[in-house]
Amino acid sequence: MSRFCKNCEKEISEDVFMLHEAHCERFLCKCPECGEAVPKSFKDQHIQDVHPKEKCPFCYDLIEKSKLEAHKLVCDSKPRPCEHCGAIMEISQMIDHEDACGNRTEQCDICQKFITLKAMPEHIFQCMENLDKPNSNAKKRKPNEDAKAPRKRMKRNKNDWD
């Protein structure tokens, strides 16, 4: 026969249970991290040794060392690149930055119009669709003009990239 000691969560044999319980409650306590029964006087030491904590570099929370890597992956304060320019900064700065950054304009490579970065992905998608459509101007062009046009366009683009 054995009985369950609530203090250390162990099965203790009936004949030593009374002894154990008195001793257990007095000297042992459960580790809040792993649930192991550890001597009360040794608890702080146990937590330091077995469950050392380290500051998360992003949110500054104290995280158990063995769980820190996993925490870093899901940490809400983890820096991420700006979706417009790719700059990496702290999340607190990112909200303001991304707003300002998205309102910057850049020239569309295809139609040469200035488009805000926020609207750029959508714009490029539409711009490319327009390119695929038969261009009424191109139809009217004489054959020798058609031959020149693409070369001109390439030159202009090249300068833009430099």
Binding site for Zn ion (CB under 5 A): 5, 7-8, 24, 31, 33-34, 36, 50, 56, 58-59, 75, 82, 84-85, 87, 101, 108, 110-111, 127
Measured from the CB atom, the residue of 62 and 147 that comes closer to Zn ion is: 62
What are the CA-CA distances from residue 19 to residues 6, 40, 134, 155 (Å)?
14, 17, 93, 92
Q: How far is residue 43's CA from residue 31's CA, in Å, rounded to a whole number?
A: 7
Q: How far is residue 38's CA from residue 32's CA, in Å, rounded to a whole number?
A: 10
Residue 142 CB, shortest distance to Zn ion, in Å, is: 26
For 85, the token pair is: 């320019």
Residue 123 CB, shortest distance to Zn ion, in Å, is: 6
Residue 127 CB, shortest distance to Zn ion, in Å, is: 3
For 153, the token pair is: 């366009």
Measured from the CB atom, the residue of 129 and 162 that comes closer to Zn ion is: 129
Residue 110 CB, shortest distance to Zn ion, in Å, is: 4
Q: How far is residue 101's CA from residue 72's CA, in Å, rounded to a whole number?
A: 26
DSSP label at residue 122: H
Measured from the CB atom, the residue of 100 and 147 that comes closer to Zn ion is: 100
Measured from the CB atom, the residue of 36 and 54 that comes closer to Zn ion is: 36
Residue 66 and residue 55 in contact, taking contact as beta carbons nearer than 8 Å:
no
